[in-house]
């Protein structure tokens, strides 16, 4: 009788290696060791732990995990380069509170102090600001303002039959409006599914970004006093839009935007200078396991 509580030793078939056979059962008691994600990465002999790279990857959204891990590894290598340079120059920063209310770590403070001491970006003068303004005039216009009304025929995007009915109903309303058999405001009060129906469809003043893209595209081109000649489809249903008034954006004077331009140019110059500083450190260092893209690489956050 077999003892159910005592493991039975398998009988030798005489076919094991000790008997000249070619098969040996796999030992499943010890799982195989997982292969590392990266070959060892180091900066001047200081290794970057794989666990640190995996943790850092969550701060680098990417299209695929491999790209996120690569960006994380590059960021940690750059951070180590900066920390080593700060230690070499005996730079110690005083931790500050960031804009989101967090206090810097000692390492973050040291990196910030190192960059502040090592990087000097030029300020933007009138000539540079004026040249940027002249080359980018479209960026310095006030936003247009639209006073518009609409009628909404609501329809669930998943209900094709309801969408067809709403479109047909909207087309008929547009035809009636064109021949003048109905008043836009009265039709909106009676048929629109939007709360603006109580105001005859009046949406008040609208600016770019205040409506869904399909609706805004019509606002940008619809002449004052006109009604759309065909229904405007959005995820909410079908709209009939009337442009009550347009106030076009105007060119902003240079003096009004000069401080903003100067801030942009100085921020861009500072960023480029930091990238160049990091590129020099990377060129002088002994980095194993990964290539740093130099001046185009990622910066420490």
Contact 287, 40 (CB under 8 A): no
The domain containing residue 286 runs over which residues?
Answer: 41-122+260-296
Q: What crossing angle do the helices spanning 106-118 and 254-284 adopt, rounded to 10°?
A: 110
Residue 265 domain-assigned? yes
Closest CA relative to residue 282, chosen from 78, 71, 72, 112: 78
The total number of structural domains in the chain stands at 2
Judge whether residue 293 has pLDDT over 70: no
Percent of the chain with pLDDT over 90: 76
Does the pLDDT at position 17 exceed 70?
no
pLDDT in the model for residue 100:
83
Identify the band that residue 223 occupies on the pLDDT scale cut at 50, 70 and 90: very high
Predicted pLDDT at 101: 85
Beta strands of 55-131 (E only): which ranges?
none
User: What's the average model confidence in pLDDT over 205-210?
Assistant: 94
Domain containing residue 202: CATH number: 3.10.50.40
**pLDDT, mean over the chain:** 87
Grouping H, G, I as helix, E, B as strand and the rest as coil, residue 177 is helix
| pLDDT value of position 269 | 93
More confident residue, 44 or 291: 44
Please indicate, yes or no, if residue 54 is contained in any of the structural domains.
yes
| Distance in angstroms (rounded) separating the CA atoms of residues 128 and 247 | 31
Tokens 């290598």 found at = 77
Nearest residue to 86 (alpha-carbon basis) of 298, 281, 284, 289: 281
33 is a domain residue: no
- Same domain for 115 and 264? yes
- Other CB atoms within 10 A of residue 38 CB: 14
Residues 121-178 have pLDDT tens digits of 888 999 999 999 999 999 999 999 999 999 999 999 999 999 999 999 999 999 999 9
Mark whether 199 and 276 lie in a shared domain: no
* Inside any domain, residue 83: yes
Q: Are residues 45 and 99 in the same domain?
A: yes
Q: Is the pLDDT of residue 236 over 70?
A: yes
Tokens at 10, concatenated: 């398998």
Residues 6 or more apart in contact with residue 233 via CB below 8 angstroms: 167, 214, 239
pLDDT (tens digit per residue) in 249-262? 999 999 999 999 99
State the pLDDT confidence band at 35, using cuts at 50, 70 and 90.
low
CA distance linking residue 245 with residue 230, whole number of Å? 20
What pLDDT does residue 287 have?
94
Tell me the pLDDT tens digit for each residue of 179-190.
Answer: 999 999 999 999
In terms of Cα–Cα distance, which of 118, 117, 99, 97 is closest to 108? 97
Q: Are residues 116 and 172 in the same domain?
A: no
Q: Poorest-confidence range of 74-78, 100-104, 105-109, 155-159?
A: 100-104
In terms of pLDDT, which residue wins out, 123 or 202?
202
Which pLDDT value is given to residue 121? 81
Which structure tokens are listed for 249? 């954006």
- pLDDT tier for residue 14 given thresholds of 50, 70 and 90: very low
């Amino acid at each position: 009788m077999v003892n159910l509580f005592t493991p039975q030793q398998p009988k030798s078939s005489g076919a094991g290696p000790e008997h000249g056979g070619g098969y040996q059962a796999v030992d499943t008691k010890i799982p195989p060791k997982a292969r590392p994600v990266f070959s060892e990465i180091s900066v001047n002999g200081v290794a970057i732990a794989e666990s640190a790279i995996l943790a850092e990857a969550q701060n680098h959204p990417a299209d695929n995990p491999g790209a996120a891990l690569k960006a994380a590894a590059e960021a940690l290598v750059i951070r180590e380069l900066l920390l080593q340079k700060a230690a070499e120059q005996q730079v110690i920063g005083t931790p500050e509170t960031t804009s989101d209310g967090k206090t810097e770590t000692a390492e973050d403070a040291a990196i910030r102090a190192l960059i502040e001491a090592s990087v000097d970006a030029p300020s933007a003068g009138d000539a540079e600001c004026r040249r940027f303004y002249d080359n980018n005039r479209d960026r310095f216009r006030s936003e247009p303002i639209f006073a518009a009304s609409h009628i909404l025929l609501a329809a669930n995007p998943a209900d094709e039959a309801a969408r067809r009915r709403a479109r047909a109903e909207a087309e008929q309303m547009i035809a009636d409006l064109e021949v003048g058999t109905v008043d836009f405001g009265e039709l909106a009060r009676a048929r629109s599914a939007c709360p603006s129906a109580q105001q005859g469809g009046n949406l008040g003043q609208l600016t770019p970004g205040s409506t869904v893209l399909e609706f805004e595209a019509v606002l940008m081109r619809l002449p004052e006093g006109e009604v759309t000649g065909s229904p405007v489809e959005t995820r909410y249903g079908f709209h009939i839009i009337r442009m009550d008034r347009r106030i076009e954006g105007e060119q902003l004077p240079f003096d009004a935007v000069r401080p903003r331009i100067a801030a942009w140019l100085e921020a861009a110059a500072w960023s480029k200078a930091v990238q160049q500083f990091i590129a020099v450190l990377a060129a002088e260092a002994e980095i194993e396991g990964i290539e740093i893209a130099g001046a185009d690489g990622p910066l420490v956050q």
